[in-house]
Amino acid sequence: RILVLDFGSQTTQLIARRIRELHVYSEIRPCTIGLEEIKAFSPKGIVLSGGPASVYDQEAPRVERALFDLGVPVLGICYGMQLMTYLLGGQVERSLKREYGPANLKVLDNSDLFHGLSLERPYRVWMSHGDRIEKMPPGFVCLAESENSPVAAMKDKTGRLFGVQFHPEVAHTEIGKDILANFVFKICGCQPTWTMASFIEEAVARISQTVGPEEKVICALSGGVDSSVTALLVHRAVGERLVCIFVNNGLLRKGEAETVLDFFRHSHLNVRYVDASDLFLSRLAGVTDPEEKRRIIGHTFIEVFEAEAQKIGEVKYLAQGTLYPDIIESVSFRGPSATIKSHHNVGGLPERMKLKLIEPLKELFKDEVRELGQELGMPYELIWRQPFPGPGLAIRIIGEVTRDRLAILREADAIVTEEMKASGWYYKVWQSFAVLLPIRTVGVMGDERTYEHVVALRVVDSLDAMTADWTRLPYDLLARLSGRIINEVQGVNRVVFDISSKPPATIEWE
């Protein structure tokens, strides 16, 4: 397996992922872990990621020089290459011209890292750096050059240490995959044997080893793919000693609780269902501020979950569907980011209940988790369900959340889902949903004047929810959505379509 040390680059996650796509397991760790931990990982190769720092910065993240003497092949990417140069006695300079975007790479030596590539033609690669290598460390040779980087790639004389100035992990580097494949197969000697099935086997074995024969694990099920896959994995390892708690907060979509419960009962999971709708709704009465809503829902959830967990008796572990993107903020060197919205999760529970965490998915990305779900036999609809926020419909009802407004939104939302599925658009977009606005507008139905609610449609395309754009849905589908909602949902006489991108808007309205 390959260890990726993170120096805070935006694309570190892609490195691990590209390597796993080659069927070689790889994990990311912060660059601050010590040599002992690195040795304990026993990697067949190490990749040093890029990062925003300059090696001469006071605070620049470093690794111990001895890393290069472990006898393990190392590939430094961008900042990783500069750090390698700096630590091994070469020279890094601020280049006068910063290089961002595409560059033409000329390969000078295609014996190992660039094996199979032509010396004749230039290749397009993606650069993003301010500093560059002025002088390679002693014993290094240059493997490739670009206009602004005379040393765009290098290796040492033992053929173990490599550096590339560009980013092989991004899609814009046309030969990125070849380079990473050469590194992991030719240089590190890995075999392409890693699959999701082997991931399941390893994860199950690890959980079985961690959890003692009498110990219990709890898990909060939301019906989303992350918590579901987590529960299925842990169940394979500990069986009945996993107790799942499914809290109905009264803010779920139409039929949601039933669908989720049905599936888990079929899978023989031990699920405790708690209907806490009344409690949630009574606490939300009169509340209109979005952050206040989120806070109340988060706290109430923890309270209900804790009370239910107490009934199970002594529990030692909490299984959580944390994914890699959820932890990336804490790994990287960017400062804490501003709270735009406080996302709802079971944060705070582990400390309060003195629970240890089991997070079997924390190295994975969403699409890998979906693949895992498939391998574990989850139905297509659950695997490919659109994301649904923890605070549920409460943040899609602008203003106060009441039973009447929930009923209206539930009906409108069900129509959106139905029509999106029927037209084949549901699985093509990131999210599609209805939002209930706190205003009424005038309409005319039959010969009567109406004065009723407005529903907004929000349909977006996105890769990771960090940025999003509104989906260009066909007019006839929009017409059908608006027609059905106005005709079938009592209390709505107008439908509008949200055409804002993120940023500056967000996906949800609250």
By CB under 6 A, tell whether 347 contacts ligand XMP.
Answer: no
**347 contacts: CB under 8 Å, gap ≥ 6:** 298
299 is catalytic: no
* Contact mark string toward ligand XMP, 464..503, x via CB under 6 A: -x------------------------------------x-
Residue 224 marked as a ligand binder: yes
By CB under 6 A, tell whether 109 contacts ligand XMP.
Answer: no
* Contact mark string toward ligand XMP, 390..429, x via CB under 6 A: xx--------------------------------------
Q: Which of 216, 241, 344, 405 binds ligand XMP (CB under 6 A)?
A: 344
Q: Which of 138, 150, 387, 474 binds ligand XMP (CB under 6 A)?
A: 387
| Min separation Cβ 252 and ligand XMP, Å | 13
| Min separation Cβ 341 and ligand XMP, Å | 5
Q: Where are the beta strands (DSSP E) in 260-366?
A: 270-275, 317-319, 356-358
User: Long-range contacts for 180-184 (Cβ within 8 Å, ≥24 apart)?
Assistant: 180/15, 180/18, 180/19, 180/22, 181/22, 182/112, 182/113, 182/114, 182/115, 182/116, 183/45, 183/47, 183/73, 183/75, 183/113, 184/2, 184/19, 184/22, 184/24, 184/44, 184/45
- Please choose, out of 81-89, 274-282, 382-390, 480-488, the segment that lies near ligand XMP by the rule CB under 6 A: 382-390
Residue 226 marked as a ligand binder: yes
Instruction: State the pairing for strand pair 45-48/2-6.
Output: parallel
Q: Given 167, 235, 344, 453, which residue is catalytic?
A: 167
By CB under 6 A, tell whether 431 contacts ligand XMP.
Answer: yes
Residue 222 marked as a ligand binder: yes
Distance CA 503, CA 139 (A): 48
By CB under 6 A, tell whether 328 contacts ligand XMP.
Answer: no
Residue where the block lists tokens 């590939």: 75
Q: How many residues line the site for ligand XMP (CB under 6 A)?
A: 13
Q: Where are the beta strands (DSSP E) in 249-322?
A: 270-275, 317-319
Beta-bridge partner residues of 169 = none
167 is catalytic: yes
Radius of gyration of the chain from its Cα atoms, rounded to whole angstroms: 26
Q: Which is nearer to ligand XMP, 479 or 499 (CB)?
A: 499
Q: Which of 161, 164, 389, 486 binds ligand XMP (CB under 6 A)?
A: 389
For 128, half-sphere exposure in the C-beta direction (CA atoms, 13 angstrom radius) is 17
| Min separation Cβ 96 and ligand XMP, Å | 39
Q: Given 169, 368, 419, 510, which residue is catalytic?
A: 169
**105 contacts: CB under 8 Å, gap ≥ 6:** 122, 123, 124, 125, 144, 145, 146, 152, 153, 166, 175
169 is catalytic: yes
**Is residue 86 left, alpha or beta, with left meaning phi > 0 and alpha meaning psi from -120 to 50?**
alpha
Residue 227 marked as a ligand binder: yes
Annotated binding site for ATP: 222-228
Name the residues annotated as catalytic.
78, 167, 169
Binding site for ligand XMP (CB under 6 A): 341, 343-344, 387, 389-391, 431, 465, 502, 506-508
